[in-house]
C-alpha cells in the first residue's frame, strides 16, 4: 500500500522519495499530503515548488479540482481562484463547501 511506503520513506529520512509520493497523493486528491509536503520545505524553497504543483493540478483537466481550489484558498491565490471560478461558474466552486 502506498501509504505504508510513504511512511517508510518518511521514517527512513528519504526526503526525495517522500516528496515524490506526496505529490502523487496530492494529484490523487489528498490535501493532507499537501500540508506534509509543504512542511518539508523552507519558505524560500517552497516558493519554487508550489508553482510546479499548481501547474500539475491545472493540467489534470478537471480531475480533483477540489484540492486545487483548497490550495489556492490556503495560499491566498485570489486572482487564480477568481479566474478558475469564472471559467467554471458556481458549479466548480461547490466542491469547497
Domain span including residue 13 = 2-96
Give Cβ neighbours of residue 46 (< 8 Å, ≥ 6 apart).
Answer: 38
Q: Output the pTM of the full model.
A: 0.82
The per-residue pLDDT for 86 is 86
Instruction: Report the pLDDT value the prediction gives residue 89, as an integer from 0 to 100.
Output: 60
pLDDT in tens, 5-62: 999 999 999 999 999 999 999 999 999 999 999 999 999 999 999 999 999 998 887 6
* Chain segment 60-74, per-residue pLDDT in tens: 876 777 899 999 999
Total of domains in the chain: 1
C-alpha span between 41 and 5 (Å, rounded): 20
Amino acid at each position: 500500500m502506498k501509504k505504508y511506503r510513504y511512511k517508510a520513506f518518511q521514517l527512513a529520512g528519504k526526503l526525495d522519495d517522500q516528496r515524490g509520493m506526496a505529490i502523487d497523493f496530492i494529484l490523487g486528491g489528498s490535501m493532507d499530503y499537501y500540508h506534509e509536503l509543504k512542511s518539508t520545505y523552507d519558505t524560500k524553497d517552497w516558493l519554487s515548488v508550489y508553482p510546479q504543483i499548481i501547474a500539475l493540478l491545472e493540467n489534470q483537466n478537471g480531475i480533483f479540482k477540489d484540492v486545487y481550489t483548497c490550495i489556492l484558498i490556503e495560499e491566498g491565490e485570489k486572482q487564480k481562484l477568481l479566474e478558475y471560478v469564472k471559467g467554471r461558474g458556481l458549479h466548480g466552486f461547490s466542491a469547497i463547501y
